[in-house]
Structure 1
Amino acid sequence: MPELIPLISQQEIEEKIQETGQKITQDYKGLDLVVIGVLKGAFVFLADLVRQITIDLEIDLVGASSYQNTSSTGQIVFTKQPDLELKGRDILLVEDIVDTGRTITKTVESMQLLNPRSIKICALIDKKERRETQINVDYSCFCLDGFIVGYGLDYNEKYRNLPAIFELKF
Structure 2
Amino acid sequence: MKNKLSFTHHKAKNSMITIFDKNFVPYISEAEIKKRIKEVAAQIVNDYKGLRPLFVAILNGSFMFAADLFKELDMEAEISFIKLASYKGTTSTGNVLTAIGLDADIHDRHVVIIEDIIDTGRTLNAFIPTLYHSQPKSVKLVALLHKPEAAIHPIKIDYLCFTIPNKFVVGYGLDFDGLGRNIKEIYQIVEQ
TM over 0.5, shorter chain: yes
Say whether 1:58 aligns with 2:74: no
Instruction: State the Cα distance separating 1:25 from its structure 2 match.
Output: 0.3
The match for 2:54 is 34
Instruction: State the Cα distance separating 1:32 from its structure 2 match.
Output: 2.9
Say whether 1:25 aligns with 2:72: no
AA at the equivalent of 1:158: L
The match for 2:186 is 165
Instruction: State the Cα distance separating 1:3 from its structure 2 match.
Output: 1.5
The match for 1:6 is 26
Instruction: State the Cα distance separating 1:162 from its structure 2 match.
Output: 0.3
The match for 1:126 is 146
CA-based RMSD: 0.9
AA at the equivalent of 1:102: R
Instruction: State the Cα distance separating 1:81 from its structure 2 match.
Output: 1.2
The match for 1:79 is 99
AA at the equivalent of 1:9: S
Where 1:129 maps in the other structure, the secondary structure is helix
Q: Greater Rg, structure 1 or structure 2?
A: 2
Looking at structure 1, the residues matched to 52 and 26 of structure 2 have their Cα atoms a distance apart, in angstroms, of 38
Instruction: State the Cα distance separating 1:104 from its structure 2 match.
Output: 1.2
Instruction: State the Cα distance separating 1:31 from its structure 2 match.
Output: 2.0
Written as runs of structure 1 = structure 2, the 5 A alignment for 1:82-161 is 82-145=102-165, 146-161=167-182
**Structure 2: gaps (5+ residues):** 1-20
- Could you tell me the percent identity over the aligned residues? 35
Looking at structure 2, the residues matched to 79 and 31 of structure 1 have their Cα atoms a distance apart, in angstroms, of 30
Instruction: State the Cα distance separating 1:53 from its structure 2 match.
Output: 0.9
The two structures have a TM-score, normalised by structure 2, of 0.86
Instruction: State the Cα distance separating 1:51 from its structure 2 match.
Output: 0.7
Task: Considering Cα pairs closer than 8 Å and 6+ residues apart, tell me whether 1 or 2 has the greater RCO.
Answer: 1
Instruction: State the Cα distance separating 1:114 from its structure 2 match.
Output: 1.4
Looking at structure 2, the residues matched to 123 and 16 of structure 1 have their Cα atoms a distance apart, in angstroms, of 11
Looking at structure 1, the residues matched to 25 and 154 of structure 2 have their Cα atoms a distance apart, in angstroms, of 30
**Structure 1: gaps (5+ residues):** none
AA at the equivalent of 2:94: G
AA at the equivalent of 1:133: H
Aligned residues: 170
Looking at structure 1, the residues matched to 149 and 183 of structure 2 have their Cα atoms a distance apart, in angstroms, of 25
Where 2:72 maps in the other structure, the secondary structure is coil
Looking at structure 2, the residues matched to 102 and 30 of structure 1 have their Cα atoms a distance apart, in angstroms, of 33
Instruction: State the Cα distance separating 1:56 from its structure 2 match.
Output: 0.2
Looking at structure 1, the residues matched to 59 and 133 of structure 2 have their Cα atoms a distance apart, in angstroms, of 19
The match for 1:48 is 68
Where 1:94 maps in the other structure, the secondary structure is strand
Instruction: State the Cα distance separating 1:11 from its structure 2 match.
Output: 0.4
Looking at structure 2, the residues matched to 157 and 75 of structure 1 have their Cα atoms a distance apart, in angstroms, of 18
Instruction: State the Cα distance separating 1:168 from its structure 2 match.
Output: 2.0
Match of 2:36 among 11, 16, 19: 16
CA deviations over 1:101-149 (Å, ceiling 9, x no partner):
0101212112111111010111100111110012111111001121100
